[in-house]
Amino acid sequence: MKKCNNQSLGVSMSKIRLRFAPSPTGYLHIGGARTALFNWLLAKKLGGTFILRIEDTDVARSTQVSVDAILQGMEWLGLDWDEGPFYQSDNFPLYKEKVQQLLAEGKAYKCYCTAEALEAKREAALKSGGKPKYDGTCRNLNDTPEDKPFVIRFKAPLDGVTVFNDLIKGSISFNNEELDDLIIQRTDGTPTYNFVVVVDDASMGITTVIRGDDHVNNTPRQVLLYQALGAPVPQFAHVPMILGSDKARLSKRHGATSVIAYRDMGLLPEAMINYLVRLGWSSGDEEIFSKEELVEKFTIEAVGKSAGVFNPEKLLWLNAHYIKAGDPERLAELLLPFLADRGITARPAQPDLVNVVKTLQERSKTMLEMADGALFYYKTELEYDQEAVQKNVKPESSGYLKSLSAALSTADKFDHESIESVFKGVCADLGIKMGQIGPAVRIALSGGTVSPSIYEVMEVLGKEETCRRLDLATARFTAAQG
């Protein structure tokens, strides 16, 4: 067992509390899933608490559909939470109270500037090369026009430096003069994001905030807010972004970005977890990690600082690995919906799906591929690949198939070994080599030139069905050759 460093020891002793706080304005995407995973892993590793909080203060953009999609994504990945889901929309009274507190303490003020005026000033500043920050017009207003609409701004310090030690990126500092007086309550009385996050993280006792890189610039404002509220400042860990192959931020252009879309493409959740964690984190030269191993080995300090490019090929490789290593019974269950999409709506009795899966595990990169590969087993009437027939079926093929079928039908056992020995016996009797009969047999059994091993297919199909397909092909090949 490795020694803990002081930092993680300190965290674990104070019972770490983490949260994942997505906003319900879309599905759970790759980046969010990884952030959730890192939170989950650290909570599990340190015996802490993982909280799910839905950031729905933007009532206009938040939807229940998105909430459901996020929950579904979390569930698929197996990222369960200890508390929540909490909804920020349930906490409006608390935010109101905290705003009043800051107002009473002179740490916030009412601002009567209109959005239009602000926008104009911002544009002017930008045009003249200045900074587009709030100019502080209402900061020291004496006469307050009570009848006009207003927002409430946080009175940020004008000078000094705000520093925080990021668990991933190290020390990050900002000059306070770069920060302006951010709005904490809108004209309509609803609170804004930066304020709400702080109030919630403080009231929920969050000790460590793991979130996307895109929040680093918000962090100094939030630190200031914690201080103004008299709350302890949590530790921060900003995980780098995930980029597309063009090094631009991952988006729809780069293919599916919802984790559920990957499920529908035939990915296994353990492959997704494994891929996501390795994108930005590593443990020596290891590539394959079970969740249990991750819980044991993961540390937030080992997460890399730089953005990573999403690589679908590697994801696919991991998926192929987990399919190969997976439990056939479970894979059979997971295969059902993909078969249903292909017209096999009920779980077929014959041939046994688990046996079918076993023949396909080593040759499927996705469950979707596996479903495609499984189809021929369940077709009563195969369509032969014409090109394959032309190339591989010779005038003598029908005779070979007939002999094979006859020999097979008298076999007392029908396992891999006995099938092989009968097969070889037939070849010897006919004085031919495997290559002279193999392709035609494969077409007879599967309809094409690509399938699992012939012996395996025969075994799974069973004697009766094997002979039926062989006989059927004999007839059809004969007919085709006239």
Partner RNA sequence: GGUCCCAUCGUCUAGUGGUUAGGACACCGGCCUUUCACGUCGGCAGCAGGGGUUCAAGUCCCCUUGGGAUCACCA
Would you name the residues annotated as active-site residues? Answer: 252
- Residue 178 C-beta: closest distance to RNA, Å: 5
Q: Which is nearer to RNA, 116 or 381 (CB)?
A: 116
Q: 291 vs 442, which CB is nearer to RNA?
A: 442
User: Alpha carbon 74 to chain centroid distance?
Assistant: 8
Q: Are strands 208-212 and 83-87 parallel, antiparallel or unpaired?
A: unpaired
- In 301-415, alpha helices (H): 312-325, 328-340, 353-360, 367-378, 386-392, 397-409
Give whichever of 333 and 456 is closer to RNA, judged by the CB atom.
456
Taken in order 406, 407, 411, 416, the sign of the CA dihedral is: negative
Half-sphere exposure of 395 (CA within 13 A, CB side): 1
* Contact of 456 with 374, CB cutoff 8 Å: no
Q: Helix axis angle, 463-481 relative to 454-461, nearest 10°?
A: 120
Nearer to RNA, 110 or 402 (CB): 110
For every residue of 55-88, which 3-state class applies, written as one string?
Answer: CCCCCCCCCHHHHHHHHHHHHHHCCCCCEEEEEH
Q: Tell me how far, at minimum, the Cβ of 197 lies from RNA, in Å.
A: 8
**Three-state secondary structure call for residue 114:** coil
Shortest distance, CB of residue 349 to RNA, whole angstroms?
A: 25
Supply the minimum distance, in Å, between the C-beta of residue 288 and RNA: 9
The amino acid at residue 312 is P
* Cβ 181 to RNA shortest distance, Å: 10
CB of 247 or CB of 482, closer to RNA:
247
d(CA 148, CA 41): 49
Smallest distance, RNA to C-beta of residue 148, A: 10
Preceding amide of 191 cis, omega within 30: no
Nearer to RNA, 313 or 383 (CB): 313
Alpha-carbon distance 17 to 200, whole Å? 13
Q: Which residue, chain included where needed, has tokens 């959740």?
A: 269
